[in-house]
Structures are given as C-alpha cells and as structure tokens.
C-alpha cells in the first residue's frame, strides 16, 4: 500500500504539476516585441528609408539652381591672353529655369506620397518582424513543453521500471516485458537530448530577431492564457482596408500615379527660362544690361509627350488593378485565418475539458492496477504514451491558435490582445 500510494503521488506530481521541473526566469513576449522594435536591423533600415524619403519632398518642390556664366568673345587666334583691350567683349550672365505653372507643385505631391509609401513599408516591416518574433516565441514554447512532457514521462517510466524489476525478480513479469521498458527509457532519453539541441537553435532564431547575442540564454515562454480574440468577419474586413500596410502602399500608388498623370499632361506646356546678360565689363565701367527670355517648345509632342500621358494612364490603371487584387487576397487570408483560429479554439476546449481529464483518470487506474499486481503494464505504458501525445496535441493546438492570431494581426495590420 505504501508503494502504491507513493507511485500515485508521483503520477500526480509529474503529470499535473510541471512547474516543479523548471525554475527558469519567465520570458515575456511583449518585452521581446518592444526590444525588436528598437533593435531589429530590418526595422531600423526601413525607418531610415522613410526618413530619407521625407528629405526628398522639399527638394522636389524646389527650382533648379540658376546658371551663372562668364563669356569672353573675339579672342585673337593663337593666344589665350585676356587683357583690358578685350574688356568690352566680356559678358556676364545669370539664368533661371521656371517650369510651367503647377509642375513643381505636382512633383512635390508625388514626393510626399512616395514618403507616405515608405512610411507604410516601415509599418509593414515592423509587423513582419513582430510576427516572426511571435512565431519564434511560440515555437520555443512548444519545444519547452515537449521537453517538459517527455521528462515527466521519463521520470514516471523510471519509477515503473523499478517496480517492474522487483516483479521480474519474483517472476511476476517476463524478461521481454522488462526489456521493452528499458528500451522505452532509452528512446525517451534520446528524444530529450535531441529536443534540447533544437531548443538552442530556437533560442538563436529569437535572439537574432531582437539583435541579441545569438548564444544568449533565454527564459521560459508561457502561454497559460490564450490570447483573447472576439472579432466578427465584417469588422476584420474593415480593419484590413484601413490598416493593412500593403493596401495602404497601393492606395498611395494610385494617388501617386494620378499626380503623375496630371504632370504628364502639363508636359505639353512650355517651361520658361529667364536671364540677365551684362556686356562689356571693364574696370570701373559697366556696360548695358540685356534681358533674356526663352521657352522650351514641345515640338515632338506626337511621339514624346503624348506617350508620356499614355504611360501615366497605364500606370494608374495598373495600380488600381493591383490594389483590387491585393484587397481580394487580404480578405481571403483574413477569412482563412479567422476560420483556423476558431478550429484551434475548439480543439483547445476539447483537449482541456474532455480528452486530457479522461486519460489522466485512465492512467491513474492503470497504475493502481499495475502496483497491486492485477493490471497489465503494457496497458499502463500505452496509456502513458497516449496521455503525453494528447497533451502534445493540446499544446500544438494552443500554439496554432496563437500563430494564426499573429498571422491575422499581420494580415489585418493591427494587433489584438496578445499574451504577456
């Protein structure tokens, strides 16, 4: 009876209380996300591209630099000597090009819209990295749970093996049955070794995303509480239209091409260049001033400007078509991920409310029968394996739920309530 009570206590300790196996510091997802936002090189690079694009806006709206000129006329052949006798043939000029009304304004608007596109790309990169951090975090959590459950199984199996050895000594079980137990012990030990190696790779993956030392040791991820998600599909579609960076980028592309179309139409109109010319610069004497005014002539508009407009129209229509295609793709992905989240949620409830409690009860009964000499140890071993596999399936569903939620956040372009 003492042995039976001890083993039953061990089962409860190992199968229902995993916290005793680990005393590692907790690893918080929100902390990792904030660290990634500050330190991830891809996010920082996207931010700098956006800042550089902002600096191009005032440049696009500015006039070209004026042109200064100094001309010497009637230089005698065979000499480059410039003396006072040639002073009246010197000419100084300054000219400035003025684009047709509205051209500079449109160029400025195009540059501004381009900077807004870079801002959306910056947001998109941030969402992509956050998604990668979350998925790496959930994979690390799953790896830890696999190690934890297999270690629990190993400790329980060692206790069963000790009891089996005592039974074998008095002839209650065969050598073959004892051999199967030892074989299972060796298999579980090897599984745990491999899982620990995989954990190192998962830690490196997460460390590189937050720009830490790749070999830095991380704490213990936790998903004891599922992230809450209560969004109807229509509100998700609306949020996608408003927040998804890719859709925002292509909406700006449409706006940019509209401005480009207007700018192409203005290419039919001439630009103007004005200038002042001062002739006969001599020592102490300033000659007369000349005013210069010239225009660009779109003489070849039939083969140049006309096709510039056609190109701009085609680019605009392409941007509109791409936006619609991206919208359809986003809606499809949103619906698919929302469905996967509901399926995973149903799995979680099934495992928690039904399957795991039934198997835990079954293994307790099998163990009690085995220790009293009435049960079959193979049934005990099968129940133990089934319980571990079912708990693995539960944690897999939990990870799938959170990964699909993370993918939905990236698709919609906004975060919902996530686990801490």
As assigned by CATH, the class of the 2-63+99-267+304-412 domain is mainly alpha
Helix 103-169 to helix 175-209 angle (10° resolution) is 160
pLDDT (tens, 9 = 90+) of the chain, 420 residues, equals 445 544 554 555 445 444 444 446 889 999 999 999 999 999 999 999 999 999 999 999 999 899 998 877 666 665 555 555 554 567 788 998 999 988 999 999 999 999 999 999 999 999 999 999 999 999 999 999 999 999 988 888 888 788 788 878 888 778 887 888 889 899 999 999 999 999 999 999 999 999 999 998 888 898 766 656 788 899 999 999 999 999 999 999 999 999 999 998 988 888 898 998 887 665 556 667 888 888 887 776 667 788 889 999 999 999 999 999 999 999 999 999 999 999 999 999 999 889 988 888 887 777 777 666 666 666 777 777 888 889 999 999 999 999 999 999 999 998 886 544
Q: What is the token pair recorded at 389?
A: 């596999």
Identify the CA nearest to 145 among candidates 30, 31, 22, 23. Answer: 22
Q: Can you give the residue ranges of every domain in the chain?
A: 2-63+99-267+304-412
Cα 335 to Cα 338: distance, rounded to the nearest angstrom? 5
Cα 20 to Cα 38: distance, rounded to the nearest angstrom? 35
User: Residue 381: which residues within 8 A CB-CB, separation 6 or more?
Assistant: 157, 160, 180, 181, 184
DSSP assigned state of 13: H
**CB of 270 closer than 8 Å to CB of 297:** yes
In tens, the pLDDT along 183-237 reads 989 999 999 999 999 999 999 999 999 999 999 888 889 876 665 678 889 999 9
- Count CB-CB contacts under 10 A for residue 126: 19
Q: What DSSP string runs through 197-220?
A: HHHHHHHHHHHHHTT--TT----E
Dmax over Cα atoms in the chain, in whole Å? 131
Burial letters for 55-88: b for 16+ Cβ neighbours within 10 Å, e otherwise? ebbeebeeeeeeeeeeeeeeeeeeeeeeeeeeee
**What pTM, to 2 d.p., does this model score?**
0.82
């Amino acid at each position: 009876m003492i042995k039976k009570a001890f083993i039953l206590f061990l089962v409860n300790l190992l199968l229902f209380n995993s916290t005793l196996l680990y005393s590692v510091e907790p690893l918080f997802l929100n902390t990792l996300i904030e660290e990634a936002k500050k330190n991830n090189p891809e996010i920082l690079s996207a931010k700098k591209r956006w800042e550089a694009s902002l600096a191009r806006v005032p440049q696009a709206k500015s006039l070209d630099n004026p042109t200064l000129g100094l001309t010497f006329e009637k230089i005698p052949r065979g000499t480059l000597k410039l003396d006072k006798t040639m002073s009246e043939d010197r000419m100084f000029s300054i000219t400035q090009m003025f684009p047709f009304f509205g051209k500079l304004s449109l160029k400025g608007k195009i540059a501004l819209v381009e900077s807004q596109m870079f801002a959306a790309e910056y947001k998109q990169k941030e969402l992509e990295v956050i998604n990668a951090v979350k998925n790496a975090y959930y994979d690390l959590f799953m790896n830890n749970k696999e190690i934890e459950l297999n270690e629990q199984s190993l400790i329980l199996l060692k206790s069963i093996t000790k009891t089996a050895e005592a039974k074998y000594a008095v002839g209650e079980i065969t050598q073959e049955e004892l051999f199967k137990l030892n074989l299972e012990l060796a298999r579980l030990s090897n599984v745990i070794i491999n899982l620990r190696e995989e954990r190192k790779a998962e830690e490196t993956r997460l460390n590189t995303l937050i720009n830490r030392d790749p070999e830095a040791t991380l704490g213990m991820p936790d998903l004891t509480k599922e992230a809450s998600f209560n969004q109807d599909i229509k509100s998700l579609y609306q949020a996608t239209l408003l927040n998804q960076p890719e859709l925002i980028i292509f909406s700006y592309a449409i706006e940019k091409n509209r401005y480009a179309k207007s700018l192409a139409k203005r290419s039919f109109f001439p630009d103007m260049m004005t200038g002042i010319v001062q002739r006969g610069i001599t020592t102490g004497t300033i000659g007369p001033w000349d005013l210069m005014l010239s225009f660009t002539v779109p003489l070849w508009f039939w083969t140049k400007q006309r096709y510039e407009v056609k190109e701009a129209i085609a680019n605009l229509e392409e941007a509109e078509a791409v936006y619609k295609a991206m919208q359809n793709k986003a809606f499809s992905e949103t619906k698919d991920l929302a469905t996967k989240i509901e399926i995973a949620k149903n799995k979680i409830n099934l495992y928690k409310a039904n399957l795991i409690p039934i198997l835990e009860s079954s293994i307790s009964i099998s163990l009690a029968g085995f220790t009293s000499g009435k049960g079959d140890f193979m049934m005990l071993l099968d129940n133990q394996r089934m319980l571990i596999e079912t708990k693995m399936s539960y944690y897999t569903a939990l990870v799938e739920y959170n990964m699909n939620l993370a993918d939905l956040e990236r698709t919609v372009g906004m975060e919902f309530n996530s686990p801490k």
